[in-house]
Amino acid sequence: MGETNAFSVTDLSRYVPRHLLMAEALESPNARDFEGVAMMVDIAGFTELTEAFAREGVAGAERLSTILDRYFGRMTGIAIAHGGDVLDIAGDAIRVIWKCDAALDEAALRAVQCGLQMQRVLPDIIVETGVHMRQRVSLADGKLRHLTVGGIGGEVV
């Protein structure tokens, strides 16, 4: 019974961005600027894909959910393996950042390698799911701003 389960920052980064896990405690809303790279990956033609599954009713919705779980699970794993922080999954898009601790070029290189790996594994996901998908990968570098704007129960999140 005395055994505890300890999570490392890497384990938790699948659920909470690493830059938040490593941040100091905050007392009030704030803004932090930093140099970094931002990536957005989305499924091209997602509306048509969802409409096709919607015509199948509940079974189609469940199948689409399974496909998206597999897709985003794989993309999230790739992003983390390349040192990225997954900010969120919004609809059909995943947003990832790389905070520059040293040279911006290094973070940009990791982001590009990540995007290329995501493109390389897409055919495998298509084979696994039986659903043809296309994706777009967008990258931008420069000054990023992280805003902490509120909280729950007196806790800043």
The answer to whether position 153 is within a domain reads no
Q: Which residues pair with residue 100 across a beta bridge?
A: none
Give per-residue pLDDT as tens, 78-128: 999 999 999 989 888 999 999 887 777 889 999 999 999 999 999 999 898
The answer to whether position 151 is within a domain reads no
CA 1 to chain centre: 35
- Whether residue 39 is predicted with pLDDT greater than 60 in this model: the reply is yes
| 1 confidence band (pLDDT: 50, 70, 90) | very low
Instruction: Please give the pLDDT value at position 135.
Output: 95
Residues 50-55, mean pLDDT to the nearest whole number = 90
| 2 confidence band (pLDDT: 50, 70, 90) | very low
Rounded distance between C-alpha atoms, residue 36 and residue 140, angstroms: 9
The answer to whether position 4 is within a domain reads no
- Contact predicate 60/67, CB 8 Å: no
Block residue for tokens 């969802």: 50
Domain span at residue 69 reads 31-144
Which amino acid is located at 151 in the chain?
Answer: G
Q: What is the CATH number of the domain that holds 90?
A: 3.30.70.1230
The answer to whether position 2 is within a domain reads no
The answer to whether position 9 is within a domain reads no
The answer to whether position 71 is within a domain reads yes
Average pLDDT, rounded, for the chain = 83
- Domains in the chain, number: 1
Instruction: Please give the pLDDT value at position 30.
Output: 75
